[in-house]
Amino acid sequence: MVNNSLLIRKHVWIFALATVAFQSCSLKPSTWQPPLDPYIEHNLTVNEKLQSASKIDLDGWYGPEDIVFDKQGNLYCGVHIGRQDFSDGKILKITPSGVVEVFYNAGSWVAGLHFDAEDNLVALSHKQGLIRIAPDKNVTVLANQDEQGLPFLIPNGLDIASDGNIYFSNTSHSHSYDIKYGRKLILELRPNGGLYQYNPKTKKVTTLIDGTYFGNGVVLSQNEDFLLMTETTKYRVLKYWLQGEKAGEVDMLIDNLPGFPNGISRREDGSFWLGFSTRRNDALDKLHPNTSMKKLVYALPEFLQPKQEEYGIILNISDNGTIISALFDTSGKTIPEAGSVVEYNNQLYIGGDIVPYIATYALDK
């Protein structure tokens, strides 16, 4: 009996080690030496202003990654079925009186949302790609792959120019999104997906940046002379020039940010709201130069994996990359993440990848 017990335990350990070895081999990480964490508390006044935010319940759905409003003041957001379950999703419509209804059964999470000049809701579905939903709810798939035939598996941020051109990011053409793959993208730190333009007149996709480091939120400048895209895993915001002498070139708007930048939106004054999934993690920064350690961490069972810290950060940034102001919830109790942030009627509407509500923050507070 004792020998059988020892034999079973031995087999369990062999299986566990084999599993860890297999998982570690599936990660192909690159090395990177992140810049020193800027310790934002030394440069800006840390506050707890976001703790005063209110909440709009989503009837059990999660992940309002992008938020838009129609002309009647109805709010729209894409959601998924569970905190860590991205296998199904909808677009919700929430009336000014707070009534929540399913606007579109997407069958997957929907990230980017934007209304075009004809009041069509243009969206990024993780199942269908770039789609257009007419006011009568007729759905047209505009694009689901780039010019090379690479699929848009995690289409993300979206904005539409005055000429109708649609600009959007795709985080990956290799794998659909789930929590494990998200960790892989963070640890592997290799360029994937890209930044794209869709021309509704020619119905063609053009790749603007081929390969991004967790390309995420996208927004046009006030004059539409440049486009911004957040790169979540590199803690930075890129500037892609659309007009002028530098048209087609990429600059850095702001680098070495204090957290993982996610959604970005434009204010009426031409500055931007930048939302973060969470703040920087010193342990992760120390891992990045060591590929062996990254492989080991990735291979650990999920309950031993590092968890995302609940920490709310929103920055207001000028069009030249200067930080104007900051809002915090360092406890994460009200705003555990601020992946999406949109200003409407002097209020911020704040969402994220896994939160079950939209938070609202009055800007006069």
Task: Work out the pLDDT band at 10, boundaries 50, 70, 90.
Answer: very low
Walk across the sheet containing 54-57 and list its strands: 54-57, 357-362, 347-351, 340-344
Integer Cα distance of 75 and 67 in angstroms: 7
* Structural domains of the chain, with CATH: 40-362 (2.120.10.30)
Integer Cα distance of 128 and 221 in angstroms: 28
Provide φ and ψ at 279, rounded to 5°: -85, 170
Q: Which residues contact 286 (CB under 8 A, 6 or more apart)?
A: none
Number of helices (H) and strands (E) in the chain: give both, helices first.
4, 24
**Residues 191-203: tens digit of each pLDDT:** 999 999 999 999 9
**Residues 96-143: tens digit of each pLDDT:** 999 999 999 999 999 999 999 999 999 999 999 999 999 999 999 999
Integer Cα distance of 219 and 239 in angstroms: 10
Give yes or no for residue 16 having a pLDDT over 80.
Answer: no
Integer Cα distance of 147 and 206 in angstroms: 7
Give yes or no for residue 3 having a pLDDT over 90.
Answer: no
**pTM, two decimal places:** 0.92
**Whole-number mean pLDDT of the chain?**
92
Position 232 scores a pLDDT of 98
- Asked if 297 and 346 touch (Cβ cutoff 8 Å), the reply is no
Classify each residue of 177-209 as buried b or exposed e, where b means 16 or more C-beta atoms within 10 Å of its C-beta. bebebbbbbbbbbeebbbbbbbeeeeeebebbb
User: Token pair for residue 116?
Assistant: 């075009």
Q: How does DSSP assign 207-236, residue by residue?
A: EEEEEESSEEEEEE-TTSSEEEEEEGGGTE
Q: How far apart are the first and last CA of the chain?
A: 69
Give yes or no for residue 24 having a pLDDT over 70.
Answer: no
Position 122 scores a pLDDT of 98
User: Token pair for residue 82?
Assistant: 């569970």
Question: 10 Å Cβ neighbour count for 130?
Answer: 24
Integer Cα distance of 297 and 189 in angstroms: 14
Average of per-residue pLDDT across 8-24? 40
